[in-house]
């Protein structure tokens, strides 16, 4: 049956015109008009999720893989509340995200109608922009702005509330909103010349690379730039996949707490060139790096969004342009005059020291670091690794030597529940690649049921569940601050093997270090694998074993 032109169809046509070929949803009666507009469409894949947090996380992971806004559709009130974690994560991670929320009918707006929420107030503090389309005639312009806001500058979440009667309202037959040309900002020629001089003269330069380089060609541009100019590269928090970690110029990542000897070395840099990263608390080690009172270190900050420059540190040179544009403008260096070999070697050897596995001897299970070490050695070169939040993940950030095109999908926000949905989205987006998810028992029981989507779509995910019966990260903090007084951090577990089987996965147990010999085969297998690791708690707690 031919579809009458409604605001719902205009919306879907506009998403498609912007290259959006997949949306993630949990249905609601508040947006039946949008669901109907999706009916029978071959150009957009509707992924039906089991919880709005899962839908939102899938949309964020998809956005990180495509560079386009991820889209989740959820119902009003309860649905939008469940999706809030994804809005927060998109904001903290700087990921373009459109959350489309069904809303009560226009006549009931602001009457405390059934399941009504004023989304401007609800998401005001975490969304980049929130809008409610109360007039179908304003849908097109609102969509254009929503996509533009989500995707430009520092990308982020946009929430659109769509009253149910607006979605079904007829609109004049019209072409979908056309994508506008990309907004290009170019670096100032004088700044480029100045920076060329600084880069040529620096004895101890450092590049700090961030999400702004997570774009088509960004990683290749960073590599070519670092090699041409002989620049060691640090990556920002949880962005290890921007640069080959085995490259002699790799200097490591900015983590939750970098070791003091490494920080002492980094403070010795005489030029810090920040490319597409925000200088936020973790990346700056709680605003201590660079030293705000630095005397001998120059700071050049390059970011597509001027609003993130100069927030905590006065830059000596500030460029509001995409980092890849600056790299292109800098071109190639003249003849090298400064010998940086010693500096580069020091940074690399410090990084190697940090990355060396430290597997303690314990008797209460497998130290998860041993699992990570095995994954590090056998991760296929095309792999996408998704990490949930938890103590099990700490060594993955340290040890796994990511190398493009490998990808790491892990939220800067530290949101639990991201790992499994992100793996599902990655499996859908990159069917030819190996997708591995590592998740704790706590995190798995938050969103692990999204494996139902993997089952439905026959995605051969490799899911590694670290089972230790505690919210380990929090138990570690608790032991440090309140030794011997565990409270609110332990729990009983279901039988994870049964859960894995219920979702159609073959299950493998890892109970001893010897069982890890199975891992290479499991990572290479053609089908899905569900690996249940009986993880030691003693290995990570403060004390003789955990250190
Ligand atoms: C949604 C959410 N709730 C709570 C937290 C706080 N938190 C961070 S890590 C963690 C424990 C994770 O436990 P688990 O998944 O079992 O992994 P483990 O730390 O034991 O390895 C908690 C509760 C969080 N980051 N996100």
- Gyration radius of the chain's alpha carbons: 24
pLDDT of residue 3: 55
Average pLDDT of the residues of the chain: 95
Pocket probe mutation, ligand 1, options 51, 238, 410, 416, max atoms within 8 Å of Cβ: 416
323-330 helix and 189-201 helix, angle to the nearest 10 degrees: 70
Q: Identify the DSSP state of 362.
A: -
Q: Give distance in angstroms: CA of 24 to centre of ligand 1.
A: 24
434 near 382, Cβ under 8 Å?
yes
pLDDT of residue 547: 44
Report the C-alpha gap between 532 and 128 in whole angstroms: 39
Quickly count: other Cβ atoms within 10 Å of residue 292's Cβ: 12
240 near 402, Cβ under 8 Å?
yes
Q: Give distance in angstroms: CA of 476 to centre of ligand 1.
A: 11
Q: Give distance in angstroms: CA of 392 to centre of ligand 1.
A: 10
- Determine whether the shortest distance from the Cβ of 419 to ligand 1 is under 6 A: no
139-151 helix and 7-17 helix, angle to the nearest 10 degrees: 30
* Cis before 359? omega within 30: no
Report the nearest-CA residue for atom 12 of ligand 1.
390
Least confident of 39-48, 176-185, 239-248: 176-185
- Determine whether the shortest distance from the Cβ of 255 to ligand 1 is under 6 A: no
Backbone angles phi, psi at 525, to 5 degrees: -65, 155
Q: Is the pLDDT of residue 359 over 90?
A: yes
Report the C-alpha gap between 182 and 386 in whole angstroms: 30
Backbone angles phi, psi at 463, to 5 degrees: -110, 120
Q: Give distance in angstroms: CA of 413 to centre of ligand 1.
A: 12
pLDDT of residue 99: 98
pLDDT of residue 1: 44
Stretch (H or E) spanning 349: helix 341-355
Average pLDDT over every residue of 397-418: 97
Report the C-alpha gap between 421 and 521 in whole angstroms: 24
**CB burial class (10 A; 0-12, 13-18, 19+) of residue 403?**
middle
- Determine whether the shortest distance from the Cβ of 443 to ligand 1 is under 6 A: yes
Bridge partners for 103 per DSSP: 163
pLDDT of residue 170: 92
- Determine whether the shortest distance from the Cβ of 466 to ligand 1 is under 6 A: yes
Least confident of 184-188, 316-320, 528-532: 184-188
pLDDT of residue 295: 82
pLDDT of residue 42: 96
Cβ-proximal residues to 263 (8 Å cutoff; 6+ apart), any chain: 285, 288, 289
Report the C-alpha gap between 340 and 246 in whole angstroms: 19
Q: Give distance in angstroms: CA of 416 to centre of ligand 1.
A: 6
- Determine whether the shortest distance from the Cβ of 413 to ligand 1 is under 6 A: no
pLDDT digits (tens, 9 = 90+) for 335-351: 877 999 999 999 999 99
Report the nearest-CA residue for atom 4 of ligand 1.
416
Report the C-alpha gap between 438 and 324 in whole angstroms: 32
Q: Identify the DSSP state of 504.
A: T
pLDDT digits (tens, 9 = 90+) for 262-308: 999 999 999 999 999 999 999 999 999 999 888 889 999 999 999 99
**CB burial class (10 A; 0-12, 13-18, 19+) of residue 451?**
buried
pLDDT digits (tens, 9 = 90+) for 53-69: 999 999 999 999 999 99
Q: Long-range contacts of range 63-66, CB-CB < 8 Å, 24 or more positions apart? A: 63/90, 63/95, 63/96, 63/97, 63/155, 64/95, 64/214, 64/407, 64/409, 65/384, 65/407, 65/409, 65/425, 65/426, 65/429, 65/430, 66/19, 66/429
Average pLDDT over every residue of 327-331: 97
Q: Give distance in angstroms: CA of 471 to centre of ligand 1.
A: 6
Report the C-alpha gap between 411 and 423 in whole angstroms: 13
Report the C-alpha gap between 236 and 213 in whole angstroms: 11
- Identify the three-state secondary structure at position 511: coil
pLDDT of residue 294: 83
- Determine whether the shortest distance from the Cβ of 415 to ligand 1 is under 6 A: yes
pLDDT of residue 177: 82
Q: Is the pLDDT of residue 35 over 50?
A: yes
Average pLDDT over every residue of 137-149: 94
pLDDT band at 4 (very low <50, low <70, confident <90, very high): low
Report the C-alpha gap between 526 and 236 in whole angstroms: 33
User: Greatest CA span in the chain, whole angstroms?
Assistant: 72
Report the C-alpha gap between 173 and 175 in whole angstroms: 7
pLDDT of residue 268: 96
- Determine whether the shortest distance from the Cβ of 468 to ligand 1 is under 6 A: yes
pTM above 0.95, yes or no: yes
* Cis before 290? omega within 30: yes
- Alpha carbon of residue 59 to chain centroid: 11
Q: Tokens 């998809």 map to which residue?
A: 62
Q: Where are the alpha helices (DSSP H) in 100-188?
A: 119-123, 139-151, 164-167
Cβ-proximal residues to 342 (8 Å cutoff; 6+ apart), any chain: none
Average pLDDT over every residue of 112-119: 95
- Determine whether the shortest distance from the Cβ of 299 to ligand 1 is under 6 A: no
Report the C-alpha gap between 501 and 513 in whole angstroms: 23
| Per-position DSSP letters for 32-53, written without gaps between them | HHHHHHHTT-SSSEEEE-SSHH
Q: Give distance in angstroms: CA of 472 to centre of ligand 1.
A: 7
Region for residue 408 given its phi and psi (left: phi exceeds 0; alpha: psi -120 to 50; beta: otherwise): beta
- Determine whether the shortest distance from the Cβ of 130 to ligand 1 is under 6 A: no
Report the C-alpha gap between 126 and 404 in whole angstroms: 31
- Determine whether the shortest distance from the Cβ of 467 to ligand 1 is under 6 A: no
Report the C-alpha gap between 106 and 517 in whole angstroms: 61
pLDDT digits (tens, 9 = 90+) for 483-527: 999 999 999 999 999 999 999 999 999 999 999 999 999 999 999
- Determine whether the shortest distance from the Cβ of 474 to ligand 1 is under 6 A: yes
pLDDT digits (tens, 9 = 90+) for 439-493: 999 999 999 999 999 999 999 999 999 999 999 999 999 999 999 999 999 999 9
- Determine whether the shortest distance from the Cβ of 533 to ligand 1 is under 6 A: no
- Determine whether the shortest distance from the Cβ of 541 to ligand 1 is under 6 A: no
Q: Give distance in angstroms: CA of 442 to centre of ligand 1.
A: 6
* Residue count (the chain): 547
Backbone angles phi, psi at 474, to 5 degrees: -75, -35
pLDDT digits (tens, 9 = 90+) for 250-271: 999 999 999 999 999 999 999 9
- Determine whether the shortest distance from the Cβ of 535 to ligand 1 is under 6 A: no
Stretch (H or E) spanning 336: none
Report the C-alpha gap between 476 and 126 in whole angstroms: 29
């Amino acid at each position: 049956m031919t579809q009458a032109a409604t605001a719902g169809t205009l919306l879907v046509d506009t998403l498609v015109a912007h290259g959006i070929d997949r949306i993630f949803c949990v249905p609601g009666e508040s947006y039946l008009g949008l669901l109907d507009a999706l009916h029978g469409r071959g150009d957009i894949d509707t992924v039906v999720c089991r919880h709005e947090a899962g839908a939102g996380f899938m949309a964020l992971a998809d956005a990180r893989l495509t560079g386009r806004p991820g889209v989740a559709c959820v119902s009003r009130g309860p649905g939008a509340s469940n999706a809030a974690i994804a809005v927060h994560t998109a904001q903290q991670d700087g990921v373009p995200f459109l959350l489309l929320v069904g809303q009560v009918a226009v006549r009931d707006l602001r009457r405390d109608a059934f399941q009504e929420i004023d989304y401007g107030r609800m998401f005001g503090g975490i969304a980049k922009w929130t809008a409610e389309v109360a007039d179908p005639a304003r849908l097109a312009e609102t969509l254009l702005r929503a996509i533009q806001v989500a995707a430009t500058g520092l990308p982020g979440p946009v929430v659109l509330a769509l009253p149910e009667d607006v979605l079904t309202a007829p609109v004049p037959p019209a072409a979908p909103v056309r994508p506008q040309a990309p907004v290009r900002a170019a670096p100032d020629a004088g700044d480029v010349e100045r920076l060329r001089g600084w880069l040529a003269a620096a004895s101890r330069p450092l590049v700090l690379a961030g999400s702004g380089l997570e774009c088509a060609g960004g990683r290749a541009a960073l590599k070519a730039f670092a090699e041409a100019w002989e620049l060691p590269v640090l990556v920002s928090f949880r962005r290890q996949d921007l640069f080959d970690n085995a490259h002699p110029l790799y200097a490591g990542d900015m983590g939750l707490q970098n070791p003091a000897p490494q920080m002492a070395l980094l403070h010795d840099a005489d030029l810090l060139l920040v490319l597409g990263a925000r200088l936020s608390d973790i990346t700056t080690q709680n605003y201590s790096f660079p030293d705000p009172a630095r005397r001998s270190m120059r700071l050049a900050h390059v970011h597509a969004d001027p609003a993130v420059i100069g927030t905590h540190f006065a830059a000596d040179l500030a460029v509001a342009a995409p980092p890849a544009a600056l790299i292109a403008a800098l071109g190639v260096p003249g003849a090298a005059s400064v010998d940086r070999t010693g500096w580069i070697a020091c940074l690399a050897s410090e990084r190697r020291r940090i990355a060396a596995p430290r597997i303690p001897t314990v008797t209460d299970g497998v130290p998860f670091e041993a699992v990570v070490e095995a994954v590090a050695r056998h991760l296929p070169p095309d792999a996408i690794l998704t990490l949930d939040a938890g103590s099990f993940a700490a060594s993955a950030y340290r040890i796994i030597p990511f190398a493009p095109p490998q990808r790491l999908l892990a939220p800067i926000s530290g949101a639990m529940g991201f790992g499994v949905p992100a793996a599902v989205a990655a499996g859908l987006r990159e069917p030819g690649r190996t997708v591995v998810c590592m998740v704790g028992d706590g995190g798995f029981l938050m969103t692990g049921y999204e494996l139902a989507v993997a089952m439905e779509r026959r995605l051969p995910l490799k899911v590694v569940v670290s089972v230790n019966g505690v919210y380990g990260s929090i138990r570690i903090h608790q032991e440090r601050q309140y030794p011997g007084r565990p409270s609110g951090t332990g729990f009983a577990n279901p039988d994870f093997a049964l859960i894995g089987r219920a979702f159609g996965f073959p299950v493998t147990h890892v109970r001893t270090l010897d069982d890890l010999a199975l891992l290479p085969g499991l990572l290479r297998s053609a089908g899905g694998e569900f690996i249940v690791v009986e993880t030691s708690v003693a290995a990570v707690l403060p004390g003789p074993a955990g250190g």
